[in-house]
Amino acid sequence: MSVISELRMRPAALQSPRWDASVRTRLALAVVVMSTLLVGANLATPLYPLIRAELGLSAFHTTAAFAAYVFTLVAGLLLVGHWSDHIGRRAALVLAVLTGILGAVVFGGATSLPMLILGRCLQGAAVACAIGASSAALRDLLPHRPEWASRFTLVASAGGVAAGPALGGLLSLLPDPTRLPFALYAAFLGLLLVPLVLLDARPAIRPAAPARPLSALKPRRPAVSRTARRAFWSAAAVGFLSFAVFGFSLSLAPTYFAGITGYDSRPLAGLLAGLVLAASAASQLFPQRGGHGSGAAVPGLLVMAGGVALIPVAGVTGNVVLLLAALVLAGSGQGVAFRRVFNTVAQQVEGSQHAQIISTVYVITYLGSAVPVLGLGLAADAMGLAAAVAVFAGLVSAGCVGMAVLLGRTPVTASI
């Protein structure tokens, strides 16, 4: 079936030879597409100081551009998070890659704040389309290993976000650093379309009614089954807290870290900004120990709270070693905690609802990287970046401790 036939939700008129890829290849393709789109969405992190100077932006403008991506992503998850169930995983990923190419071109060529925001909105739409499709494709390909499907999803998410700032920092050494990195990235996304289009796609898991196929694509009110409701809210709350830290790392952190290290190096800023995400991704590679269910997320939440609390301490003391330790602790704690609660909800959701429910989890999770960060940007303009980061870290740490206490009292067990 061709991509056009999938998008029309109609059987293909003629069957042409297609690439019948192995399960392993399909797994790799789903992971690469999702992580690549997240790389592009965070490529600009170490470049924001240059973009701010070039366009004359304030700290709040920078966080507003970042938040535009998040709010569009959230809206996209609500509007199109279930599409891949009806048009097929491959077609949804093709739409995501095409939107990602357009977003990279607009953002890279931005000459004003509105253009910058438009580019970020397109990037958010691309990631929204890819998240549900990729995670559901992994679940489809590993029907008897849901924990591995969740692990691959989290590695691709955290790894892609972590690699974005690091790669952006390295590409910033090229001529025209606010534009050329995005042109190269758009070209790479174009190459990814080739295997996607050639792939012999599997049929949609919930085919649309032949009489009115487009009705299946209408926006749906977020809904969670009764059996997965408690696990869902646990995952959403932990995700909100952890992505608040990610949002800080990917927006104002490079400027804050430069004040601690004393170095105005874009590659170094990118590496430091991605360190929390890299530690989170690395934590997904280790086997789970210490029980099942959301209650097992308590140690991770406490480690995350401690790591976040140490960030402003490192800022006051100017201690780079303490800063590195704080970022690693925050990221690894987040990875352990979110993996526990994410696995729990993923195991309690039926396969036919996986894309829709996981997209809904990410709706609340991604709000954590927008709403608190907007407040941080306003506070930074009003009281200075150091004081704003101290208040932000205190609130996030307190939230992690409170969530740990709540989950410790009312553990949510997985239905295995």
Task: Give me the pLDDT at residue 277, please.
Answer: 83
Within 10 Å of residue 218's Cβ, how many Cβ atoms?
Answer: 8
- pLDDT at residue 348 is higher than 80: no
Tell me the pTM.
Answer: 0.76
Phi, psi for 199 (deg, rounded to 5)? -65, 140
- pLDDT at residue 292 is higher than 60: no
* Structural contact between residues 97 and 3, judged by C-beta atoms closer than 8 angstroms: no
Q: Which two structure tokens, joined as six digits, stand for 316?
A: 């006051």
Least confident of 74-83, 230-239, 311-320: 74-83
Question: Which pLDDT tens digit goes with each residue over 29-88?
Answer: 989 999 999 999 888 888 888 888 888 888 788 878 878 888 898 888 778 766 777 677
- pLDDT at residue 415 is higher than 50: no
- pLDDT at residue 109 is higher than 80: yes
Q: Span 143-152, mean pLDDT?
A: 76
Question: Over 227-243, what HEC string results?
Answer: HHHHHHHHHHHHHHHHH
- pLDDT at residue 343 is higher than 80: no
Question: Which pLDDT tens digit goes with each residue over 199-234?
Answer: 887 665 556 555 565 555 666 666 666 666 777 888
Question: Which pLDDT tens digit goes with each residue over 246-281?
Answer: 888 877 888 888 888 877 777 887 888 888 888 888
Task: Give me the pLDDT at residue 265, please.
Answer: 78
Q: Span 118-131, mean pLDDT?
A: 91
Measured over the CA atoms of residue 373, residue 375, residue 378 and residue 384, the dihedral's sign is negative
Nearest to 301 by CA among 249, 341, 344: 341
* Structural contact between residues 5 and 212, judged by C-beta atoms closer than 8 angstroms: no
- pLDDT at residue 416 is higher than 50: no
Nearest to 130 by CA among 84, 85, 100, 93: 93
Task: Give me the pLDDT at residue 228, please.
Answer: 65
Q: Which two structure tokens, joined as six digits, stand for 225?
A: 């089954």
* Structural contact between residues 213 and 18, judged by C-beta atoms closer than 8 angstroms: no
* Angle (CA) 339 64 123, round 5°: 60
